[in-house]
Structure 1
């Protein structure tokens, strides 16, 4: 701990004595020790989220502790110099505890002084948990809210919904939470958000035009394109969560091309209102086994050679969600080979990196993450890919090389999931 950090803390007499005793016995951590410790905590926290025994209770507790720690550290670093945002409520009144409730004839809208607006839908209940100079924390107890968050350089907005936390910078989205069903729905209109909670090993990154549905009780998670869903106001069934790592590679698979190698890109099939196989609809309805079974009956090799980009994406997702990592990997490689210049082809590189990270080791995953960052530097998974790259580089090549990646991460994603570990690494000599 530096001298400035020590001055920032206000400890009681007994606590101060314990700190001095610990310093005398253990000494002071070096930047290298601190960096390695933070990086391990970040990595292990992401890897173990999916293993909680009670997803709802443990998820809520872990998220509350983590969020409290993040807010405490950031508040300590910034101090109390920034005045909190002010807000006013239109069409309703906030109670003393910050709670708001929408009735059949009233839909309260909260307007913050930075221009951000949060509107409650009929029957929704929410409360303003805290307000800072950089944003606020809004807890959705039930129902749906529509938010338009104004982006600024220091923006910090969090939305709680059951055991989930939505981290927002600047965006517009609709967020719904049904506590009786333990179901979350988030429809992202523009911008980008990250959703943390049970059932996923790392925050789920959403880009504009995507719809996320999570059912906690049944362990179902599905992420799909909002524009492809008919009747978007009524959330469809969800699908099981994507796996943490990869399965065993199919020994009959064609040799994988080297990541980043160019391939002749045929024109992608023109989008149709309803793909020939209807897999996008089946994916949205949670009929995952049906997708994989149909692909196998028709011949996987034939599908990898003939299926459209949308069908390959649906097959890869269905295979990942049902833990058929062998099929998922081959579908993603087919996407890369046949449609490399499309956004699905680029995102396949990131997904292949996640599959490779536990199955093939860090070196293979690193190459895929670097490929994705080169092809989609502003992509939806760029923050996660660069963070995973930093972790792998530190593991394979040490702190000095990882510090180079850490500085790049902080330049691009100063508020990202791996920012705290990156700051510690960036100070490594």
Structure 2
């Protein structure tokens, strides 16, 4: 099992150096920007030519683009990239920059103060009892928009990959083969939540299956997202990490909401964790959290969304969706000898890989009949772990790639154990 896990989680480190093509243009005019400086962690990679074009090699996941009289921009490294820069004379960007460097909007902070003040009374655990279920799906895969292109390139170059086994690791070729038909990793989980003021909380794992593993990873079972806890962006102790601005009021599902924009404060020193910006939707009547949208500061880096539903006058978590950039996979064709013209016409051959999380909550009931025996034992109890009953809880059918993941990865796991 350990050998199988090592293969699954270390595959991303074998796809390193690759060649990228970048075009930098003026966002307002659509014209190329020459002499734009491209760097990675303060290391100079090159300058764009008169056509705003630069071809470079780098192991970096993201780059910084800087040009005279333009605002600095960053971007995730892809095989082919087009980055737009905004001129410093842009009134919109100038106003936004002043705002972002200012302190948080006092009105937004007052709303957040009330969100924290009423969080317990808005929480489901202020009820005497309740129950609901959830279905979670976690996977590692190529960006959904790139799947068809990846499959085509892999099929066209499969014979080449077989010839390259002497040069490339077997794991390298195997990982490419897996991605042509399935995801690299898939984990499904169905849970039942029980709560009683008298007996506490109980979480039953109704069913659970992880591709390639016969036993569940119990450390992962305890992951619960924003369920029944104050989100990081709203905690009072994190006020110094974000800037908040009240931007609008809108109606969502028949209820009026404040819309608050937030972003992380820009630090002079490098910060390892991802920087997100996004929006908070706060119910005007109850100051309960309706929705949080977090969007990556760097293009294509990922997004996180949590949504709540108003049930029995409380705010229950309804849905969570996470997409986070993991690494870049390169489909090399080292045996080809192409001239510069053919090289420019070559298909896109590097692909971003992502971790995906999708959680859906349903079957809310409150109050419930409280039976002490239902709350005995550990907080988390695994009732089933073979995946045979997951069909009862799936909120939508598995895709063909997801179905293939169980077959392909489970077969691979047997061969490596």
Normalised TM-score (structure 1): 0.25
| Greater strand share, structure number | 2
- Name which structure has the greater RCO, CA cutoff 8 Å, separation 6+: 2
Normalised TM-score (structure 2): 0.25
